[in-house]
Chain A
Amino acid sequence: GAVVSQHPSWVICKSGTSVKIECRSLDFQATTMFWYRQFPKQSLMLMATSNEGSKATYEQGVEKDKFLINHASLTLSTLTVTSAHPEDSSFYICSATLPTSTDTQYFGPGTRLTVL
């Protein structure tokens, strides 16, 4: 149980375009989802916390207008990278917690974004 999926797994886009990444909890309802960014050979950096039905909470230094997060249902959160630039190229990972056990996160497989 507690499976989280992401789509797409890999995306290449031109500079200036927008890219949407989906995060789904497949076998449970996730009231809270998290979005992380992982640079090569570095750890995960939390970007934002997404709560179903409310606005996401962004970490300091993360541009909310650039990284749009929507958590419209209990099984789906989306991250849209708007007007992407090469420096946005990274590995984006989402995670979700069970409603009954918010101390443990279950991670998606990640999405590799390459902006040309």
Chain B
Amino acid sequence: AQSVSQHNHHVILSEAASLELGCNYSYGGTVNLFWYVQYPGQHLQLLLKYFSGDPLVKGIKGFEAEFIKSKFSFNLRKPSVQWSDTAEYFCAVLHYGQNFVFGPGTRLSVLP
């Protein structure tokens, strides 16, 4: 069965620092990859997704993610974080014919 891991449980950064959140999945083959964000007190929102094509995908709010098939990874990046980026970030994988599998989440705290 597919499993998704996220490297860090809690990341603390100062404003303007660069961000990279790791995500790895276990199952090969054709997958669709997602990053969702959950701001405090709000519901999950889609940040970006990868289905095919250019492995570097750009999402909302300056986020981007790179799909590296050989490493089964889909890391999320942002060059300069803001205090408003404080949230929980979830990586998710959809394997053809199966259901979404979510990673455990990474809590990002950005200090002003």
Contacts and interface: CB of A to CB of B under 8 A. Distances in A.
Interface of A is mostly: strand
Interface residues of A, number: 19
Contacts of B32: 103
B104 interface: yes
B51 A44 contact: no
A43 B23 CA distance: 13
A104 B46 contact: yes
Interface of B: 4, 9, 32, 34, 36, 42-46, 49, 51, 90, 94, 99-100, 102-105
Contact of A108 (B9, B43, B51, B100): B43
Contacts of B42: 109
A49 interface: yes
Contact of B94 (A42, A44, A49, A103): A103
Interface in A1-26: 4
Given A43-B90, A104-B49, A93 B100 contact: no
Contacts of B102: 43-44
A110 B51 contact: no
Interface of B is mostly: strand
A82 interface: no
Contacts of A107: 36, 43-45
Contacts of A29: none
B103 A105 contact: no
B43 A109 contact: yes
A46 B100 contact: yes
Contacts of A46: 99-100
A98 to B, nearest CB: 12
A25 to B, nearest CB: 13
